[in-house]
Structure formats: C-alpha cells, structure tokens
A and B are shown apart, each in its own frame.
Chain A
C-alpha cells in the first residue's frame, strides 16, 4: 500500500508535558549517510528555567514517597522500555549504531534501571550509620536527597547515557533537568515518552535537547539548582561550572571518560553522590531489664 509515513514531532519534556521550545529554534539530526532524520528543539535558558520550576515543585512529593514506591516506579520505567525496545534499537541504529551495538545498549539500559530500582530501599542501609557518642544520646546519620539536580548527559551515548545518569539521581528522591546528547538526541524524547507512561510524577525528570555550550552557564548558575552532574571532557566547561557553582555552593559531580556500557559504572556510590548526610541527636532512656538505650 502506498502511504505517507507519519513522522514524529520531537518536542521536549518539561513538568510532565511535551512543550516545544519557547525559543522556536531547532537543529537537524542526520543519520550516518547524511540524510535528515528529525528536527529537534534547541532548548533555551527559558526552557531550562521552566524546567527548574517544575523540578522544584515535584521535589518534595517525590522525596516524600517511600523508597519502596520509588523502586516500583523505576522498575516500571524498565518494564515500559522493555515493551518498546524495538523502537529504541531502531532509533539507535539510525544514529549510527550497528544492530548488535544498539541491542546491547537497550538491554543494558533496561537492566541498569532494574539495578537502581533494587537499590532504592537499600542504599541507605549501607551508607547510613549509628555513631558512637559520649552521652545519653542516640546519634545517627542518614542520607537525604540533595534537591534539584541539573545534568549534562554524556554526548557519546543516546540511551544508556540518559538512563545511567537519571536513575541514580532520582532513586533517592532528587528531581532532575537533563540536557540530552546533542548528536544522539533522537531517543531522548522517545525515552521521555517511556517515562511519561511509567507513573513517574511530572517534573521529576525533565529532558531538554539543545546545545551544551549554550546551556552550561545557566545549568551551573541557577540559584534553585542544588547539584550538577557534568558528563564530558571539556576542561574549560569544567572550570566554568566549578566557578559558577560557588554562587549557591552547588555540589558538582564530574564524570569524564566513562564507558557507560560497562557494568563497573553502575554503583550505589553514584546514588550517594547526590545525597546529603543528615545527622540526628536523639535523647535516650534505659528501656527494660537489659538497659538497652533505644
């Protein structure tokens, strides 16, 4: 049958909605043969600003969900991704992967989501502590989410780069604004569709497409962003990010030269990069015959 193929309009993902960029700009993605495959939004600082507002609003309810529930939701993302793996394999191949590479990337992404889903209610148990103190106090330290995190996702990978950075950030209760890979932006918005159908509340994950160089100053200066993850090797960008972060003492995490496909690069320590330690002093009394303190 002769028919005209219906092509998808790739928009961005902000606050649980798919708006176009307010700037009206776009860039064209090409496949390895040099053919145009899609027009992507060139996100602007105002799109980022709107995303931060959405992420801030989503932060408290998300952080207040039980760890168990966040685990379920991450698992749900994996389920949805599994169901749409063919689409992602196809998109990765359009952006230059071989079939085998594409399959490998999609399967690793799904497994990585499951991996972090499993850590949701466990990472605190290995990273928190009961501290010995002198006096009648119960003293303990627990991990709490840092807040709103801005992310420059790895340029080299379309899907695994997004999954490997988003999952450990949101699993503890943070919310994030992610700038997807510019050259491999195609599946970032398809991944947003997966997120949108996975019980993730709007605003917890926001995905922008566009140019890193243009957006890094805003990602790093915004006073309502508490932490920033930069994946890349640009020394000049790293320097400016660190300088800009001093305005509100953002916690900066840099990941350079990482092969995200390797399982070495999934770790509970990646979760605790985006948490803060809260230490609590609690008065105690002797309970029962054993004289136990708490």
Chain B
C-alpha cells in the first residue's frame, strides 16, 4: 500500500456543518432544477433475494419512463442489479443511454476469497456491466489489515480495467467511526476507485449526511493532492426529495459544480425517484401529490 497521511475527523465540526445545511430551504426554480438533477443522478436499484426477471424488466422500464406525462424529464443514471441480471438489464436498456451497474465481490458481506470476488466481477463485466459496485472487507479493515483491503480494491480495479467504472462500497454503518470512514475512503481512492460509496443498503444506518460530508472532504483532499477526480455515491435510506436536495447542497459546497453531474455523483435508491416525481408534480400543479398516481416500481 502506498504511504499516505492518516487524517482524523472533527466529529463536532462535521455535525455542525451538516445541521446548517439541513436548516436551509430551496424554493421555486432552484428546487425544480435541483429535483431534476437529483433524478438524473439516481442509480435505480433492486437488490433483493426475491428479484425476478420481470421485476428487473419493470425497473428498467421505470428508469426510462419515469413519469411520461411530465415533459422533458431526464432518465435515471443507471440501473443497479445483481450480476445475474446484468445481461437482461443491458438488453432492456439498449439505446436509452442508461448504464447498468452491478454489485459484485460477494455483495453485501464481502466475506469470500479474492478468487471468488474476481470471478464475480468478471461475470458482471462479461455480461456488459458499465459500472461495478464492490464491497470492501470490513472484517479485515477492523483487524487492521488495511493492506489487504487496499490490494483487494486494486485487484478488482485491474479486473474492471477500461470496461467498467469501479464504485467502492465502504459500508460506513459497519465502520464504527468517522475516523474509520475517512481512512477507508483514502484507502479506496488510493487503490484506484472511480467512486466511493457509503453503503450496501442492507445495514442500518446506511447513508447519512455526516458520513457523506467526511467522504466528500476526503475526495477534495485527494483531488488537490493528485489531480484525480473521484465520484461519490451515498446509498440507502435516501427516500425523500428534501434530503436529496440537502445532499446536493453538500456536494456543491464541498466539491463545487464540477461534481454536480451524474458522472461524479450518484444516489443509490429505490424509492427516491417517486418522491422526487411527486415534488416535481407539486411544483407544476400546485397540489400535494399521492403515491396512488405514480408507478410503484
């Protein structure tokens, strides 16, 4: 592992900055703009044991046709599925410009051998995945085997090569402290991740604003240090539009406009899209909306 500085986090300071963000409100045109931007950054996700071919087809359709009665609506950024559904999703999304992201490396626990993880990743890439979401080995991280975690990410990055962008899931809900989040972020970026991602969505707490801010700060420092731009993806637990806008404010203020595109920022979510759509309809019609009038998946 390359040598890099170990940086500690001012937990109180982070909490304070986040609480200031949550007290702000975004209205009117800025809100509509932000909501559309958020829609376009969603990785529409289904990662259930009970996923079926039709569920994935339905999700792909939803990604392409979010709410047809609303003109000029963007599509989502990507559809995120398990590796065995990548081929299907790729076929469904043909020509839509929407990427297919696949989780890999023994998602969600990451408890398997490196060989299995490599095979898992190859399977997703061979099926056509544009993006791979890997999980780090949290157990190894806690045992202090940071080199192992680093090497593993580097190895998966090598497998991804030019075929797919690598998002590294830190599973911050299992890391214990913001110091650990910062360290894991640094390890993931130095090992070559294109994105760092908070959570699998299987563990509570999933993404939170403070954790995201710590990771954004890590991205900023890494960018100043190396000139390499790394993306950010909070995932899990972001299901209302207001919260999504707060995340966007955090990104804008920490990293700036350069990150405010779906090339560099994503939301991992399943139900966020509908809430954003409901808010957009509220802005358009003036009436508060009901879930009854929006597709479920």
Contacts and interface: CB of A to CB of B under 8 A. Distances in A.
A247 B290 CA distance: 11
A63 B290 CA distance: 19
B224 interface: no
A247 B287 contact: yes
B289 interface: yes
Contacts of B287: 221-223, 247
Interface string B264-297: 0000000000000000000001111111110000
Interface residues of A, number: 9
B293 A223 contact: yes
A224 B289 CA distance: 6
A101 interface: no
* Best-buried of B286, B289, B290, B293 by chain A (most CB within 10 Å): B290
A247 B288 CA distance: 11
Nearest to B288: A222
B288 A218 contact: yes
Contacts of A218: 288
The interface residues of chain B, by DSSP majority, are classed as: loop
B290 A224 contact: yes
Contacts of A222: 287-288, 290
Nearest to B289: A223
Nearest to A222: B288
A139 to B, nearest CB: 27
A49 B242 CA distance: 14
A153 interface: no
A221 B281 CA distance: 13
A133 B89 CA distance: 49
A104 interface: no
Nearest to A224: B290
B291 A224 contact: yes
* Best-buried of A49, A218, A223 by chain B (most CB within 10 Å): A223
Contacts of A223: 287-290, 292-293
Contacts of B291: 224
A201 B156 CA distance: 50
Contacts of A248: 290, 292-293
Interface string A245-258: 00110000000000
Contact of B292 (A49, A52, A221, A224): A224
Nearest to B281: A223
Contacts of B293: 223, 248
B121 to A, nearest CB: 40
A221 B287 CA distance: 6
B204 to A, nearest CB: 19
Contacts of A247: 285, 287
Contacts of A52: 288
A52 B292 CA distance: 14
Contacts of A221: 286-288
A248 B291 CA distance: 12
A50 to B, nearest CB: 11
Interface of A: 49, 52, 218, 221-224, 247-248
15 contacts: A49-B288, A52-B288, A218-B288, A221-B288, A222-B288, A223-B288, A223-B290, A223-B292, A224-B288, A224-B289, A224-B290, A247-B285, A247-B287, A248-B292, A248-B293
| 4 A-B pairs with least C-beta separation | A224-B290, A223-B290, A221-B287, A222-B288
